Amino acid sequence: MIVEVIAVGTELLIGQITNTNAAVIGARLAEEGFDAHYQVTVGDNLSRVADAIRSALSRADAVVLTGGIGPTPDDLTREAMARVAGRAMTRDQAHAAWIGERIGSQGGTVNPTVLRMADLPEGAEGLPNANGVALGVALEHNGKWMFAVPGVPVEMIAMLDQEVLPRLRRLGAGSTVLRNRVLRTWGMGESRIAETLDDLFESTNPSVAFLISDMEVKVRISAKAADREAADGLIEPVEEEVRARLGGVVFGADEETVEAIVLDRLRALGWTVATAEEATLGQVGARLAITDEQRQTFAGSTIGAGQPPEADVVLRVGPIGSDRDAGRRTTRQVEMTVTTPGGVVSRVFDFGGDEERVRSFATIAGLHLLRLALDPSTERPPS
């Protein structure tokens, strides 16, 4: 079953708001095994929104629109759906009365504009909004379905999960399930990973792809099957092969982060950690602090060349070095040292780019140097 996503809002086109809704909806659709070949962003214009819907319906079995169902005159998604389906607009009087009661209970005055959030194309089903006021819309037209959900993320996610996805599941009964496994790597460049896994990219089910984020390269293995167990069964041998080829550069999977892995190892060893950071300005410590919710393992950070808080393990990040000519680009060196009860690990990294980029890369590198220094076989010496 093919489902297309349309994000409505001029603010998305001009960069005032980042289009996170399309990403969330796309991820949810993929998890359910639906195909999504296009995502479209369109401004607040009735004709253009209607054209976008028509184009989507020509390619897909269902369309999910996000945004444009609020109370203001530029909220035109409902009207565009009605135009495409050749329907008049109607008002859900029960919902309109509820809106009036809600506003009245808060001491407000009901105006005609706010009641637009109770309007629907004729014959459409209003979808309850668990976290807001505007009704969502479910409308069938010529055997295909249009769904409209709010643009406010907290409202959109609730309506998508509670109202839209259950309907899509029923419509797509018997469809395949898509499962993904993401292996996270560090220490090998994307071109070398692509070389190492070259023949695996030829497979279509499961398929193998990769993306780079800062200094980490993620290898995604995706499989479609009749159910989750079958899809996972297709992924398993490919995952084993990827891990065998890449070896120790694979440090985690799916949502695992390097800071979580570092803290897990420290807890297992009964050690605490602190940082003294110049180049990274405390960013390594900030990531550890956010993840260490109980504040039992991370002892704190010193920004600069001063003494760090007392801890069993200390990461020291030196300053950003001066520009070095490395041929086609300039690089800047950052020296790092990790001191543990078992010894000292030091490394000098070369990073390209401006100071912000160097700082970002150095933060990742510092966390991974901690990870590598905390070998699970290391035992804390007796006190």
Q: Is 353 left (phi over 0), alpha (psi -120 to 50) or beta?
A: left
Residue 111, phi then psi, degrees to nearest 5: -120, 160
Which domains can be identified in the chain, with CATH numbers? Answer: 3-171 (3.40.980.10), 177-253 (3.30.70.2860), 258-373 (3.90.950.20)
- Note the pTM of the prediction, 2 decimals: 0.72
How far is 240 from 24, CA to CA, in rounded Å? 29
DSSP 107: T
- Two tokens, residue 101: 């009661």
Q: State the pLDDT at residue 323.
A: 80
Q: Are 266 and 273 in contact (CB under 8 A)?
A: yes
Q: What is the mean pLDDT of the chain?
A: 92
Strands 119-121 and 323-325: unpaired
Q: State the pLDDT at residue 17.
A: 93
Q: State the pLDDT at residue 383.
A: 35
Q: State the pLDDT at residue 328.
A: 62
Render the burial of 2-32: b for 16+ CB within 10 Å, e for the rest.
bbbbbbbbbebeeeeeebebbebbbebbbeb
Neighbours of 56 (CB within 10 A): 25
Q: What is the CB-side half-sphere exposure of residue 214 using CA atoms within 13 A?
A: 18
Amino acid residing at 177: V
pLDDT beneath 50: ranges in the chain: 378-383
Q: State the pLDDT at residue 326.
A: 57
